[in-house]
Amino acid sequence: MYAAGNDGDSGDETVGSPATSKNCISVGASETGRWPVVDDSVDSPNHLAYFSSIGMTADGRYKPDVVAPGYYVVSAESNGDAETTSCSVAYSSGTSMATPIAAGAAALVRQYFANGHYAKHTEYIAGVVSGSTCLSSYFCYNKTWISGNLVKAIMVNGAEPIWARYDYANGDEQNLGNPPTKEQGWGRVALEASVPVTQTSPYTGGTALFVDDNRTGIVPYETKSYKWNNVQTSGSQVPLHVTLVWNDPPNPNYETATKQLVHDLDLTVTCDATGQVHYPNGGSSADELNNVEKVNISHPMSCTSMTVEVIANALSYSRPCTFDDDDSTCSTSSSPTQPYGKVYLQFYIYILILRLRPIQEVCT
């Protein structure tokens, strides 16, 4: 997890290395709602901090991945004397203040799975929907191994949009648009919108989280399919979010490559009744640059069932590689696989405000 940098007032493509790494979680800064308000700016967690570095990367990927409060954050203050102690605090600003907040959220996401809360949640949903203890075998188990892909996917999937950035150079407010955007990535970290903390019936409105932390992987030109069936009978219609994340091998020609992505997986969500295909990251076709793909469907109740697909294009490496590997330990393979993490969430929760949204049944 890396801070995106504090050069946003210098314009686009200011996210610095190593925060441009495709496999890291790059964190930008939002405002906090804490004083002071400078000039005519609006100090709100729904606004990007003016200094937060902005994407895209050189090859057109979204960075930062998420943002977290980083404007006038209260932190410990050293008195500069290693021989004495201090209980002082100070207000500080920067993406280096936002990143520890996001890191704490990531630790809590991991603990949510490790402590068995996910297993209890899926067992509850299965009992309400089908009278069983599990809707599908890979949804119902205590996860003792939690991949970085899963943690990243959960944080991206539950991220909430921020809508504006105050531009000090021009003295005006800029609208950011729907995530992902070059300023905020997929949005502000929202822990309560990322993992269910209450149990509420899917028929009357509730939260459902289902994940496939896939360690077996997917082989070239294979398609993994998942089926969603709508079981909601009442409540307000709210978005469905589906996110795919994978740890992509390094590009051997990274210094000169115009595209850093090596293993290209594609995520689609199709309405079975109409055949309408929803593509990730706000696009109208497959994303060929990012190894984070998120589909947002604003009106999922218009479909009684949907098919979620993860499609593998050409894969090269037999396992994830590092730059320390030599040809004998990391090379192309005739039968490569690519592990990944995938998350489904339909919820009615907003950051710091617990509400309940309708959910859908998941089957394979």
pLDDT band at 362 (very low <50, low <70, confident <90, very high): very low
On the question of pLDDT at 351 being above 60, the answer is no
Choose among 308, 81, 101, 260: nearest CA to 191.
101
Q: Nearest CA to 186 among 166, 220, 211, 161?
A: 161
- In whole numbers, what is the pLDDT of the chain averaged over residues? 81
Q: Output the CA angle 228-215-290, nearest 5 degrees.
A: 70
SS3 of residue 205 by DSSP: coil
Determine the structural domain holding residue 73 and report its residue range: 2-363
The token pair that represents 343 in the structure block:
């998350």
Q: What is the pLDDT of residue 111?
A: 92
**CATH code for position 157:** 3.40.50
Mean per-residue pLDDT, 27-38? 77
Chain segment 218-250, per-residue pLDDT in tens: 888 899 888 887 776 666 776 789 999 999 988
**Which one is predicted more confidently, 324 or 251?**
251
Closest by CA to 232, choosing from 201, 203, 206, is 203
DSSP secondary structure, 6-51, as one string: S-GGG-SS-PPTTTT-TTS-EEEEE--SPSPPPTT----TTEE-TT
* Distances, alpha carbon 205 to alpha carbons 32, 198, 200, 301, 348, in Å: 30, 12, 7, 12, 8
The pLDDT value recorded for residue 344 is: 53
What is the domain count for the chain? 1
Q: With contact defined as beta carbons under 8 Å apart, do 45 and 30 qualify?
A: yes
Structure tokens at 261: 């992505």
Give dist(CA 49, CA 68) in Å, integer. 10
pLDDT interval class at 98 (50, 70, 90): very high
The answer to whether 155 and 105 have CB atoms below 8 angstroms apart is yes
Residue 228 one-letter amino acid? W
